[in-house]
Each structure stands twice: as structure tokens, then as C-alpha cells.
Amino acid sequence: MMEKLVTEDEYREALRRFLEICSCAAGSPEAAELEQLIVLMEIYEHENCPNPHFN
């Protein structure tokens, strides 16, 4: 698993994988991966997607 999403392509790949496994069973290896993807995507969005409500 990546430590950080740097490019938009990496973000899109993470999003694709997220959608692929979002219905996984709790406690499965995919569930752990899903949690990691969520964190990585949130960090990427915070750093790269300006929120007009906070500027």
C-alpha cells in the first residue's frame, strides 16, 4: 500500500479500487485496505482540492 497519493492518476486509481471493494465484509483484508484508501484519499483531497468555504 502506498504511503501517500501524489498524482491525480494515483488518486483515481485509489478511487477505482475503493469502489471495487467498498462492499467488502467487515474484518476482511479488503476492509483494512478500504480504511487505508479512505485515509489516503482524504489527505490527497485536503492537500489538492481547495474548499471555497474555508478560503
Would you kindly state where each structural domain of the chain is located, as residue ranges? 8-49
Segment holding 38, helix H or strand E? helix 29-48
CA distance 39 to 52: 22
CA 49-51-55 angle, to 5 degrees, is 125
Query: Residue 54's Cα: distance from chain center in Å?
Result: 22
* pLDDT the model gives residue 51: 77
* pLDDT the model gives residue 35: 96
pTM over 0.75, yes/no:
yes
**Alpha carbon of 48 to those of 14, 15, 25, 35, 37: distances in Å?**
15, 15, 31, 20, 16
* pLDDT the model gives residue 39: 97
1-55 confidence digits (pLDDT tens)? 678 999 999 999 999 999 999 999 999 999 999 999 999 999 999 999 887 776 5
